[in-house]
Amino acid sequence: MNECELRDLIADVRGGRLARRAFITRMAALGLAAPLAAQLLMHSGGAQAQSTAIPYKPTRRGGGGPLKLLFWQGPTLLNPHFATGTKDIEACQIFYEALVVFDPEGNMVPVLAAQVPTQANGGVSKDGRTVTWQLKQGVQWHDGKPFTADDVVFNWEYGRDPATAAVTSGTMTNIKMEKVDDYTVRVTFPAPTPFWALHGTAGLIPKHLFAPYIGAKSREAPANLKPVGTGPFKFVDFKPGDLVRAEINMNYHMPNRPHFDTLELKGGGDASSAARAVLQTGEFDFAWNLQVEDEVLKRMEDGGKGRAHIVPTGDLEFVQINLSDPWTDVDGERSSVKTRHFAFADVNVRRAFALLVDRKGIQEFIYGRTGTATANFVNAPARFRSPNSKHEFNIDKANALLDGAGWKKGADGIRAKNGRRLKLVFQTSVNGLRQKEQAVIKQACQKAGIEMELKAVTGAVFFSTDVANPDTNGKFIADLQMYAVTMGAADPLRMLDRFVSWEVASKANKWQGRNGSRYVSPEFDKLYRAAEVEMDPVKRAATIIAMNDLIARDVPAVPLISRTRVVGVANKLSVWTSPWDNDLAGLHSWYRVA
């Protein structure tokens, strides 16, 4: 069944021409479990579908007064091709736009594109190797020059040039982009590409200003600090690390937008002070990335000036289990894939550990509204979430598994096997929430006869790429470690490459491989390769769910909390945000309620 046929079936169900039960029966014949078929019907469309327009009420452009944003990390550069951190990417969104943005369900909404390409409208080839973009006509850059296909193709040329050293190069390489006419661009892929949306489409800059600075001169462009985009606001002033000021774009290409007359983005401070400035004092309209405990946020909300705006995401807090031996050196490398962990090589020990993690308790007493307990590594978009995995906290079952694995309790209550005590080193970054999580897990492990040493590493070290540092999460010189993985795009494949064999972190790749567990499974590798090229959305969703379920079975990691993104919003401010895009990607649709 191809995508068009699936969409026709779903349309028949919604139009009353096919019974819901008949649809689920037909999907079951294709090997799709009934719960997933129902889920697919509810969340049909996928990343290659077009959602409804972003809700917006104002009936004229402007008149909304000033919009004041507070980012506790100030932006340092205003070129999306050089935006290495979220703070810089967000600031670029004020001025620069993409062909599409992603809605909360992971569907695309056109911005500079006239429509979302699909197989039905001829925009996506049946073999999944070609995507044709129709561009919106009549769009102008802030200096009055027209936006055309030449600009889109230039961004591909700019990003893929190694001398430009763009952070977007990964989405520009291994594709070919060509101009068909002034408002049509064709992208060609070397293989079927189910999730093609991010390739060459984000943060478009104008050719007429950047062409003289492509390659080695890229950092010399004046527009790196004085942006000229197509976005809802035009540049006024920029003080790196401190302040961005902008004014309304009266020639913006969407009717009645933007609502605000001016915009100010202020940088500096910390997450708590940013939250206070919106929720308690009302000095600002919006505060970014509120990494603050939920109880603290609730107390601030009592000030009555703003609210915590919570967006469910695909981000995940999880515990990584080391399947290799971190305590034995092999050719100058510890945690080598050539070794086996003294305890975790046994899947039943890994399963016992999973039973000792009180995910519900961690949610209720630590995260509150800002996270949900989960047994799934993939939690969103909903069509990819497995209905098969369930989390359980059960010390008795864990004890039984450890007994069966030959780990017996000694006189001191600590288990041992073949003369070796079951002592584990559990590391994570220095973070108030994470130290509380560690304590909860340690307490349950002690009740099961596991001795645990907790280790907290400064974030700048733990997440460092310094090959000389022994305490990085890539080297993983510990038995367990905990951190969060961000999903970013509305497709789980980049999340799941943390379990493929070719991503094993090692001395050979300077410990930059994404597979820190050193998990190797031919079955998982085969599923991943299939999902990379599968164009049928039903089969692809089923394949991704099978990968998630394999992680649940083999336990190279223990999912803890499906994370949310939290921002502070003034009570009268209406914002459009999505877990699959930056907070300011929908800035053109923000407005203040009268």
**HEC profile for 124-167?**
ECCCCCEEEEEECCCCECCCCCECCHHHHHHHHHHHHCHHHCCC
List the domain range (segments joined by +) for residue 32. Answer: 3-42
DSSP letters, 222-265, are GGGTS---SSSEEEEEEETTTEEEEEE-TT-SSTT----SEEEE
Indicate whether 556 and 475 sit together in one domain.
yes
Here the tokens at position 418 are: 């073949």
Q: Which residues contact 446 (CB under 8 A, 6 or more apart)?
A: 452
DSSP classification of residue 32: -
Give the angle subtended at the CA of 398 by the CAs of 543 and 421, to the nearest 5°: 115
Asked, for residue 274, whether it belongs to a domain, the answer is yes
Q: 3-class DSSP state for residue 447?
A: helix
Largest interatomic CA distance in the chain: 81
Q: Judge contact between 378 and 495, C-beta under 8 A.
A: yes
Is 201 within a domain?
Answer: yes
Q: Closest Cα to residue 489, out of 174, 149, 170?
A: 170
How many angstroms separate the CA atoms of 260 and 62, rounded? 5
Residue 25: partners with Cβ closer than 8 Å, 6 or more residues away: none
Angle of helix 34-42 versus helix 537-554 axis, rounded to 10? 130
Tell me, what CATH number does 508's domain have? 3.10.105.10
Q: What is the 3-state secondary structure (H, E, C) of 459-500?
A: HHHHCCCCCCCCCCCCCCCCCEEEEEECCCCCCCHHHHHHHC
Task: State pTM to two decimals.
Answer: 0.80
Q: Is residue 54 part of a domain?
A: no
Q: Assess whether 329 and 417 both reside in one domain.
A: yes
The answer to whether residue 91 is domain-embedded is yes
The set of residues, in sequence order, having a beta carbon less than 8 Å from that of 229 and lying 6+ positions away, is: 95, 96, 97, 141, 142, 204, 205, 206
Residues 245, 319 share a domain: no
Verify that 339 and 473 share a domain, yes or no. Answer: yes
**Which residue stretches of the chain have pLDDT < 70?**
1-52, 200-201
The answer to whether 176 and 188 are in contact (CB under 8 A) is: yes
Vertex 489: Cα angle to 141 and 508 (nearest 5): 115
CA–CA separation, 556 and 319 (whole Å): 9
Q: Are residues 546 and 445 in the same domain?
A: yes
Coil, strand or helix at 501: helix
Q: CB under 8 Å to 302, separation ≥6 — which residues?
A: none
Query: What tens digit of pLDDT does each residue of 546-585 get?
Result: 999 999 999 999 999 999 999 999 999 999 999 999 999 9
Whether residue 289 is found in the same domain as residue 326: no
Co-location of 12 and 71 in the same domain: no
Q: Parallel, antiparallel, or unpaired: how do β-strands 130-134 and 176-181 relate? A: unpaired
Dist. CA 553–CA 557, nearest whole Å: 10
**Strands, E assignment, 256-305:** 262-267, 286-287
Residues 511 and 553 in one domain: yes
Residue pair 519/556 in contact (Cβ under 8 Å)? The answer is: yes
Helix/strand/coil (H, E, C) string of 169-233? Answer: HHHHCCCEEEEEECCEEEEECCCCCCCCCCCCCCCCCCHHHHHHHCHHHHHHCHHHCCCCCCCCE
Q: How many domains does the chain fold into?
A: 3
150 torsion bin: left (phi>0), alpha (psi -120 to 50), beta (else): alpha
The answer to whether position 49 is within a domain reads: no
Name the residue among 69, 140, 229 with its Cα closest to residue 584. 69
Q: Number of helices and strands (H, E) in the chain? A: 17, 21
Examine residue 48 and state whether it is found in any structural domain, yes or no.
no
- Alpha-carbon gap, residue 589 to 58, rounded angstroms: 9
Regarding whether 404 and 259 lie in a shared domain, the answer is no
Q: How far apart are CA 92 and CA 88, in angstroms?
A: 6
- In this prediction, residue 1 carries a pLDDT of 52
Q: Give the ranges where 386-431 is alpha helix by DSSP (H).
A: 395-404
**Of 485, 69, 66, 80, whose CA–CA distance to 269 is shortest?**
69
In a domain, 58, yes or no: no
In a shared domain, residues 127 and 30:
no
Answer yes or no: are the C-beta atoms of 315 and 372 closer than 8 Å: no
Distance CA 250, CA 256 (A): 10
SS3 breakdown of the chain: % helix, strand, coil, rounded to 5? 30, 20, 45
Instruction: Provide the angle, in degrees to the nearest 10, between the axes of the packed helices 522-533 and 537-554.
Output: 160
3-state secondary structure 354-383: HHCCCHHHHHHHHHHHHEEECCCCCCCCHH
102 and 212 in a single domain? The answer is yes
Cis, bond preceding 146 (omega within 30 deg of 0):
no
The CATH number for 175's domain is: 3.40.190.10
Strands 176-181, 184-188: pairing kind: antiparallel
Identify the pLDDT of residue 170. 80
- 453 with 580, same domain? no
> What is the strand order of the sheet 415-417 is part of?
408-409, 415-417, 420-421
